Amino acid sequence: MKPFTANVIAIIKQIPEGRVMTYGQIARAAGSPRAARQVVRILHSMSKKHRLPWHRVINAKGQVAIKDEVTAMEQKWQLEAEGVEVSQKGEIDLVRYQFHVLSEPDNNITL
């Protein structure tokens, strides 16, 4: 398992209930700012083997990005069960529910 993968898993496991994170956000926190898609892949495979709160991970638009309706609906349920308001379209208020990572690598993000 690569460090990146381990980071992603570790980060996802840190997401508290009632909070969500975006794929890109996790990717950055894991050390690969452009690896949002890998986060997705990792989420897929790892959620099958581990117990990850994959439902707390959404896309940058603050919406459920799942194409599979059944799975998407299940994610919505999971989130609502944790107190996250999800619109009928699967929209989530990131300003309210986005979780900020605590253990971010020393990414000197200089603007």
Residues that bind DNA (CB under 7 A): 1-2, 4-5, 22-25, 32, 34-45, 47, 54-55, 57, 59-61, 65-68, 71, 75
Residue that the structure tokens 């605590």 belong to: 102
- Long-range (24+ apart) CB contacts under 8 A made by 72-81 are 78/53, 79/20, 79/55
Q: Which is nearer to DNA, 1 or 95 (CB)?
A: 1
Min. distance of Cβ 12 from DNA in angstroms?
10
CA distance 56 to 33: 19
User: Measured in Å, how far apart are the chain's first and last C-alpha atoms?
Assistant: 32
Q: Which is nearer to DNA, 18 or 65 (CB)?
A: 65
Min. distance of Cβ 103 from DNA in angstroms?
19
